Amino acid sequence: MTYGLSPGRDHRYAWHVTAAQWFLDGAGRGNVETSLDRRHSDGKAWTEGNTVVPLVHGVAYYAELHRGVSNMRDGDLLLFVDWRGDPDEQLLGEPGSEIARVLSRAAERGVDVRGLMWRSHLDRLQFSATENRHMGEDINAAGGECELDMRVRPGGSHHQKFVVLRHPGRPELDVAFVGGIDLCHSRRDDRDHHGDPQTQPMAKVYGKRPPWHDIQLMVKGPAVGDVETVFRERWDDPRPLTRDPLRLLGDRLRKDEPRQLRPLPPQLPDPEPVGEMPLQLLRTYPKRLPGYRFAPKGERSVARGYTKAIRRARRLIYLEDQYLWSRHVAETFAQALRDNEELRLIAVLPHHPDQDGYLSQPPNLIGRERAVDILRQAGGDRVAFYGLENHAGVPVYVHAKVCTIDDTWATVGSDNFNRRSWTHDSEVSAAVLDEGYARGLRTTLANEHLDQAEGGEVELSTMFEAFAESARRLQQWHGVGRVGERPPGRLRPLAEPRLSPWTRIWATPMYRTLYDPDGRSAIQRLTRRY
């Protein structure tokens, strides 16, 4: 694939032309107040010259993060944001590698450690308020600065998950980690999917050590400056970290009142180009009162970026996602399927919601059921939905947020394919336009799910059939009582329990208001615009 290159044409110019076809421009982002695009001297809403490495599973990500932080020294800068952080989660699976200890030791060495953790809902609602607070306490005691950030819409969250490491005088070490992996329990799993020994509570079907499938990107090059800018915009926003009087009272009783955030040091120049990959950051921020200084009307470039790229799909869209819910999100893919009869779509999703319970499962299932029905009506036998299991037959919880299109454009981020991620919570995703990267990401994931050796080839033209055949054999083996040798592969057709009419009546409003809310303005909702 040449991306439209012509003989004698300058390579960088050709990339610019192609990137403009796939990426959003500054106006397309829909947020004129952000400095994310204005900071680029060439006027583009993306960077070029990057190297991006997918770190599939928590074991790979945590090892790289531990290595990078351990090499930091006095005067370096470490920035991180997270949805949930468990201070005792071991990055290397051994004592002494706990994330809070690793970050605290860096602060004690003179590294400027700054963090923003979502100020979570209460623990009794299956959230992580206590863990996030303790993460900050440990880092602050060591001389860093980690605060709880509740600048969200009611019922919303800061769902971004990234880390930036900057090294004055050693820019070759600068790196950013962007994706869907939190610094918390249950995330440290690997290709075999035996689960993280440090677990968080999940539905019983996932067992005592829930298998967990996830991905984070390691980014080097000028895009590191963009990821840092995302952090700086949130850190420098003058709005109070929380306005909830009950939270403020609790802080006062614990003698843990929010502090005024210290100014960050001046931002270093972006790292020099180290590769050829164009990368664009896509984000979600909701419309909220009083608003963000850097996004007073919110930002929905995740939704806009996906919509533009999906329209260009011609052969195969491959998805891995924790949720596939919203009717409007599903319709974006459905329209592409209707417009192109050669297009196929594969989605790998969790077989079961992450939590048991009469009130939690039905709203999850209603959202997915409607999205799946829309896609099947549009694509018929050109769409396929699968879940994963490990070799012991335990379902694997798919937490990854991945989309690849035609081995050309690919994203990994914190955002899911639902209305909440496209409009309501804070999210960040890295879209990369590179044939080798997109193909490598797709084939790495396909090799794992098909039980093939790492580095093997799974052709774009045959992947749909390969997944279907592997899932058929494994499902048949289960159907006859697991008699004989287990066939290779992890894929099974997606479990699709049907809900009773009464369950639909009470669960639908819960799904729409609590599980998958809309963070757009009233006008945007009426006009169905992002």
Last residue of a domain, one of 277, 307, 323: 277
For β-strands 175-179 and 162-166, DSSP reports them as antiparallel
For residue 198, what are the contacts with CB-CB under 8 A and spacing of at least 6? 86, 88, 89, 90, 185, 186, 188
Positive or negative, the CA dihedral 256, 261, 267, 270 is: positive
Please report which residue ranges of 89-173 form alpha helices under DSSP H: 99-108, 129-141
Query: Which pLDDT does position 250 carry in this prediction?
Result: 56
Same domain, 262 and 315: no
Same domain, 390 and 451: yes
How many domains in the chain?
Answer: 2
Write the burial class of residue 258 (CB in 10 Å: 0-12 exposed, 13-18 middle, 19+ buried).
middle
> What predicted TM-score, i.e. pTM, was given to this entire model?
0.93
| 33, part of any domain | no
Same domain, 197 and 52: yes
Q: Which residues pair with 345 in a beta bridge?
A: 317, 383
Same domain, 239 and 382: no
What CA dihedral angle connects 152, 154, 159 and 160, to 10 degrees?
-10
Same domain, 439 and 327: yes
| 26, part of any domain | no
Is residue 209 within 8 Å of 194, Cβ to Cβ?
Answer: yes
**Over the range 285-300, which residues count as b (16 or more CB within 10 Å of their CB) and which as e?**
bbbbeebbebbebbbb
Phi/psi at 383 (nearest 5 deg)?
A: -120, 145
Please report which residue ranges of 314-434 form alpha helices under DSSP H: 327-339, 361-379, 419
Closest listed residue to residue 424, CA positions, set 334, 527, 329:
329
Query: Which pLDDT does position 359 carry in this prediction?
Result: 78
Is residue 233 within 8 Å of 34, Cβ to Cβ?
Answer: yes
CATH number for the domain including 181? 3.30.870.10
| 1, part of any domain | no
| 28, part of any domain | no
Same domain, 197 and 310: no
Same domain, 162 and 95: yes
Please report which residue ranges of 340-462 form alpha helices under DSSP H: 361-379, 419, 435-450
Please report which residue ranges of 84-128 form alpha helices under DSSP H: 99-108
d(CA 32, CA 212): 38
Last residue of a domain, one of 239, 255, 277: 277
| 448, part of any domain | yes
Query: Which pLDDT does position 151 carry in this prediction?
Result: 92
Closest listed residue to residue 291, CA positions, set 239, 252, 249, 327:
239
Query: For residue 19, what are its two tokens?
Result: 């990137």
d(CA 312, CA 151): 35
What is the residue range of 504's domain? 281-527
For residue 116, what are the contacts with CB-CB under 8 A and spacing of at least 6? 80, 81, 82, 146, 147, 149, 158, 231, 234, 235
| 15, part of any domain | no
Closest listed residue to residue 188, CA positions, set 98, 58, 86:
58
Please report which residue ranges of 184-312 form alpha helices under DSSP H: 223-236, 245-253, 301-310
Same domain, 441 and 350: yes
Query: For residue 125, what are its two tokens?
Result: 């609602």
Give per-10-residue mean pLDDT for the chain (530 aa): 34 62 96 96 95 98 98 98 94 97 97 91 47 79 93 93 98 98 97 96 95 98 98 95 61 58 96 97 94 95 98 97 93 97 98 86 90 97 98 98 97 97 97 96 98 91 97 97 96 89 91 91 88
Same domain, 306 and 346: yes
Same domain, 260 and 354: no
Query: Which pLDDT does position 246 carry in this prediction?
Result: 58
Same domain, 222 and 350: no
What CA dihedral angle connects 468, 470, 474 and 479, to 10 degrees?
40
| 267, part of any domain | yes
| 129, part of any domain | yes
Please report which residue ranges of 296-455 form alpha helices under DSSP H: 301-310, 327-339, 361-379, 419, 435-450
Last residue of a domain, one of 224, 257, 277: 277
Same domain, 343 and 368: yes
Query: For residue 410, what are its two tokens?
Result: 């690919």
Phi/psi at 459 (nearest 5 deg)?
A: -65, 145
What CA dihedral angle connects 321, 520, 35 and 154, to 10 degrees?
-80
Query: For residue 208, what are its two tokens?
Result: 């005592």
